[in-house]
Every structure is written in structure tokens, then in C-alpha cells.
Structure 1
Amino acid sequence: MKIAVIDGQGGGLGKVVIERLIKERIHEKASLFALGTNGVATSVMLKAGAHEGASGENALVYNLTNTDIIIGSCSILLQNSMLGEITPGMACAILESPACKILVPLKNHKIMLLGLKEQQLPRFLDEMVQKVNEYLLNRGRTAGIKKTKSN
């Protein structure tokens, strides 16, 4: 299993996400891959503990072809977001990827996501970790993996 954490600018959200995934021992079940829109974001996520990392549009598009889960903020779906760092090609690749997308809502003054409860970012990150764990458990069942005495 491969989890891609996508972030840009300073990589702060990606760093926190990777630290949370490591704290919950998810890195033992899946490979954590830092995909930064720039080298700084990638470097910050690698320092946080990602197994591998790559930067830029081509690296992001290429690596999403074999990713199981994509994690990032909702803004990774919007071309020209993050002050223009999310290119149209990146947004398209993320949207078209067959990977499960677990996105954290961040306040954007021009986009309102209805139905979300008002809560602080750490609570959304708790939910994100829970959803990743659920996906990893359910994915194993749907892939025909059965528990045996040796497991």
C-alpha cells in the first residue's frame, strides 16, 4: 500500500499529517510518500518521516499512477490554488486518480463546503487518521485477504 501526502508552500500541513500517521503506526502498514509542489514542501515532509519524496508536477502526476490513498487539503483539487502552486495538470491527475482521496477541509473564502461541522484542524486530522485506518482494514478484506492462524 502506498499513501501519497500532497502539500505545497512550506509543507506544514503535510508535515503534521505524516507525523500523525507515524504516531498511529500507519507507516508500518503502508509506504508514506511525500509529494510536494515544491522542494521545500517535500523536504519538510521527508524530515517528518516520509519514506520517499518527489517534487513538482511531473513527479506528482507520475507517482499518482500507483498510489492507493491520496491525503491533502481540499485545495489540491483546485487548479491554481496554494498561490498558483497547484497546476491544472496536478489538479487533473489528483481528480482522475483511482486512489482513495482523504482530504482535510481548510477554510477558503471563495469555497464553502456545506455539511462540515465546525471544528479545529486537529480534530479533522484525527478523523483523517481514522479514515486511513478504516480504508487499510477494508481494503484487505475486499482484496480477498483472509485472517489465518499464521497471520
Structure 2
Amino acid sequence: MPIAKIFSVRKLSNLKERRFLFGRLDAIIFKAIILSAIGIVFYACALVYTKINQFTNDGNGGVEAMGDNRCRVLIIDGQGGRIGKQLAEAIGQDPRIELTAAGTNSAATVNMMKGGVRTAATGENAVVVGCRRADIIAGPIGIVIADALMGEVTPRMAAAVGQSLAKKILIPVNKCDNIVIGTGGRPVAELIEEAVALILKAVNSGAY
């Protein structure tokens, strides 16, 4: 057989082998891409399902899934808001606490905001709405007594505080003919300090 013909046959054979090899290689790469894409889709679906399941099954309506499980503390005060302001100054900077204030009058609200409260409102409806979502309610004992604080606490306010499922930390202030036995005439500052300690204890333990 002539040498030229032999080389021609070999070239043709090599070309066929290359085409065959490249064809198989292309098929393998294509299959690998398809399998990788399927794997990514399954992983994404599993991740989405896990997140949705975590959100819907979370006892706080998804709050923990969103990374915000702070204790919601509502401070209620009237008159000049002095007690509320001192409470706010003591706990307002704690990152575990979402602090809100509701004043029975605008002066009390402003004073509590000076104590560090960023979210505040004034009036009967502000108290009622705040009580619905609070984990802890703090303030002078008059907030659970209708017509207390010189009439600033309305029956609806007192009922909202009393009926709230929140833990209530009340500071006994013997005014407006409401006398609490057992306080022993302790200074208000000392009572506020004890109230703050109870709030922080509840926050630390999660018992609210």
C-alpha cells in the first residue's frame, strides 16, 4: 500500500477517534452540568422549606426567625412622669429590651422620652394598645386603679393593664387615697431600684 494512502487512512482514523472522544467528553460534561443544576435546585428548595417551616412554627409568630426576640417592656405613667423616666433611664439601654412608654398626659410622655424612651404615645388608646403586645408592664400602682393619678387613669386604662397577659411590676405609691400596706414608708428611689431588678431578672430568665 502506498505510504500516502497509509497516512490518509491513519488521519481519517485519528479524526474519527477524536470526534468520538470529544463527543463522549461533551456528553459527560453536559450530564455533569445537568446533575449539578438539579442538585442546586434541590438544595435551594430544601433551604426555603426549612426557613418557611421555622417561621410558621415559631411560637412568637416568626419573631425568633427574624432575629428579634427582645422583651417588650411598656412603661405607663402620668402626672409628671417622674417614675416612668427613672425606670426608662435604668433599663432603656439594655439591647434585650424593646422599650415603649405610654403617658396618661403629654407631659409624662415627654419626660419619659427624656429618660431614653424612643417609642412613646399619649392617651387612653395608647395605653390600651400598648398593653396588648407588652411582655412586661411597669409603672406606679395607680395604673391598675381607675381614677387614680388625680383622675388621669381611666377605667378603660386600668382594665387594659389588669387584663393584660403581661407580667406587671407595680411600684406602690401611697397617694390619691390608695394606701398599700407593707411598704413601710420606703423611699420611691429604693422601690424603683427593686422594680428595675425584677424587670432585669425576668429578662434574664425569659420568664415573662
- State the TM bucket, normalised to the shorter chain: 0.7 to 0.9
TM, length-normalised to structure 1: 0.84
Deviation digits for residues 69-122 of structure 1 (CA, Å, limit 9, x no counterpart): 101001111111111110000000000000000011111263332233432111
Query: TM-score, normalised to structure 2's length?
Result: 0.62
| Aligned partner of 2:97 among 15, 30, 37 | 30
| Structure 2: gaps spanning 5 or more residues | 1-70
Identify unmatched segments of 5+ residues in structure 1. Answer: 144-151
C-alpha distance in 2, partners of 1:126/1:49? 17
Q: How many residues align?
A: 138
Distance 1:109 1:65, change over 3 A: closer
The 3-state SS of whatever aligns with 2:174 is coil
Match of 1:3 in 2: 73
Alignment-derived partner of residue 130 in structure 1: 197
Question: Deviation above 4 Å: which 4+ runs of structure 1?
Answer: none
- Does 1:92 find its partner at 2:159? yes
Quick one: percent identity of the two aligned structures? 33
Q: Which structure is larger by alpha-carbon Rg, 1 or 2?
A: 2
Amino acid in the other structure paired with 2:130: N
Root mean square deviation, CA, Å: 1.6
Q: State the alpha-carbon separation in 1 of the partners of residues 77 and 154 from structure 2.
A: 13
Match of 1:68 among 129, 132, 135: 135
How far, CA to CA, are the matches of 1:109 and 1:88 in structure 2?
A: 15
Structure scoring higher RCO (CA < 8 A, sep ≥ 6) equals 1
CA distance in 1, matches of 2:140, 2:153: 12
Query: Are the counterparts in 2 of residues 31 and 51 from structure 1 also a CA contact under 8 Å?
Result: no
1:16 aligns with 2:62: no
Alpha-carbon separation, structure 2, partners of 1:109 and 1:69: 25
2: CA distance, partners of 1:100 / 1:73: 14
Q: Which amino acid aligns with 1:130?
A: A
State the AA in 2 paired with 1:92.
A
Could you tell me which residue of structure 1 aligns to residue 174 of structure 2?
A: 107
Matches of 1:17 and 1:127, distance apart in 2: 10
The CA distance in 2 between the partners of 1:104 and 1:7, in whole Å, is 11
| Counterpart residue number, 1:149 | none
